[in-house]
Structure 1
Amino acid sequence: MSKTILVTGAGRGLGRTLAEQLSARGDKVIAHARSESALDGVPHDRKLVFDLADPASVADAVAALGLEQLDGVIHNAGIAHIGAIADQSLELWEQTLTINVTAPAELTRALLPALRAARGHVVFVNSGAGISAGPKWGSYAASKHALRALADSLRAEEQPNGLRVTSVYPSHFATDMQRSVREQYGAEYDPSRATSPESIAASIVGLLNTPEDVVVNELRVEPPNPLPIRERP
């Protein structure tokens, strides 16, 4: 049966791949991006355009969709700034926490009536940094730890309403963000030792296929032989 799924950050990388795989299996995709041009070539049934850096705009954007039911939302969009805490500005911290935590929280809140009506599924694309943090991961890891807490609280609150909530922790997969992270860190990057976006997307899409009497609370995904993130000598 066809489902209606909202994907944030659908303009590129994992988000675009998710939109492609969901559309290919017959689902109706609501594709989110911060500009309409970013969705050029992305398969979708409807679009949701707003900037995650401005969570105050979320409620109006969602209301304009007029959704009565929503089978799922995949919170995929996010940013990563790598650097020592001593070097990261207040502006950077605020931007990271706003885009990675506050905006997904506000979007989820706005979508809850439609999600409850469909007994839907909320998927948060987290990170290995949401489980443990190392040097130079301060702001990003803090945002991902907070995203994990958001997911855990939402799951506990919405169980009586039939919602399922899953946190996915992908590690070392081949996207522009991973390249950027390693460039910022001064580390080597080898896409042959990373998981492909197609494989990560397939794992996430698979979660949406789980039977109604199953909840996968957390899923960790990594390549068989990941390249550690270490600064070049």
Structure 2
Amino acid sequence: MPHQVITGSGSGIGRLIAERLHERGDRLVLVARDAARAEDLAAAFPGSATIVADLARPETIARAVAAADLPDAVDSVIHAAGIVALGAVAALPLDAWTSQLAVNLVAPAELTRALLPRVRAARGQVLFVNSGAGLTAHPEWAAYAASKHGLKALADALRGEEAEHGVRVTSVYPGRTATPMQAEVHAQEGADYDPSRWIDPASVVAAILTALDLPRDAVISDVTVRPGPR
């Protein structure tokens, strides 16, 4: 039975990934920022384990992983957590840079490092839910896009480093998707939010599950998911 570690399972794409994997019987290990959230996730996904780690404080992750009751082999680590704060370079405060880099880039790197021995034991997979902003940066998106460009670099380097251990690495680049984060983005942009204009999260999750379930003779290294014609 596969063991899947997931960040960001409280909402959006991460939540739907957890639901799909739980429905089919996979064993989940859910990363929660505090003990209360861990209890909520364990209740929502019976039989799952948790790692209590605040991704905004990457320096605490290794200790949290060591303290968790984890299997010796982990089939996948799915990085779906993220935060966004928009603003022009001329106006964006320092903490908007450091917080997004911590959660969106440094925490995935540190969690991956801490779990790699278990992923290697399973000849498993690390999957990064990136963003279209990880490929192209637009005005007002500098800090978020920088964190996601860095996440692409992390995945590309990791893919080459871990091939000898049989570990697959995938980056998924969704366009605008109808999630709570997208509603927050629209609020920051001062725009009306109409979820019907954007990708259904289920479509992104379908691409993610395809990458996870691909036979071992191949790997989907990068996949871009864009809104279809209306």
Q: TM-score, normalised by structure 2?
A: 0.94
| 19, 44, 65: which one aligns with 1:42 | 44
Q: CA deviation at 1:181?
A: 0.9
Is 1:58 aligned to 2:58, yes or no? no
| 196, 208, 211: which one aligns with 1:204 | 208
Greater shift after overlay, 169-178 or 200-209? Answer: 200-209
- In the TM superposition, 1:1-233 aligns within 5 A as 2-39=1-38, 40=40, 41-43=43-45, 45-65=48-68, 66-225=70-229
Distance 1:175 1:211 in 2: 30
User: Which residue is 1:231 aligned to?
Assistant: none
Distance 1:42 1:94 in 2: 31
1:48-96 CA distance string (max 9 Å, x none): 1111011111111111234310000100001000111111111211111
Distance 2:210 2:24 in 1: 11
The residue identity in structure 1 corresponding to 2:228 is P
The residue identity in structure 2 corresponding to 1:24 is E
- In structure 2, list runs of 5 or more residues that go unmatched: none
The answer to whether the Cα contact below 8 Å between 1:20 and 1:42 also exists between their aligned partners in 2 is no
Moved over 6 A (4+): none
The residue identity in structure 2 corresponding to 1:20 is E
- In structure 1, list runs of 5 or more residues that go unmatched: 227-233
Distance 1:162 1:101 in 2: 23
- CA RMSD after TM alignment: 1.4
Distance 1:214 1:21 in 2: 22
Distance 2:114 2:61 in 1: 8
Q: CA deviation at 1:187?
A: 2.9
Distance 1:194 1:119 in 2: 35
The residue identity in structure 2 corresponding to 1:55 is P
Distance 1:103 1:42 in 2: 24
1:104-156 CA distance string (max 9 Å, x none): 10000000000000001000000000000110001000000000000000001
Among all aligned residue pairs of Structure 1 and Structure 2, give the percentage whose two residues are the same amino acid: 50
The residue identity in structure 1 corresponding to 2:18 is A
The residue identity in structure 2 corresponding to 1:17 is L
1:16-74 CA distance string (max 9 Å, x none): 11111001111001111212433525315101111101111111111123431000010
The answer to whether the Cα contact below 8 Å between 1:16 and 1:42 also exists between their aligned partners in 2 is no
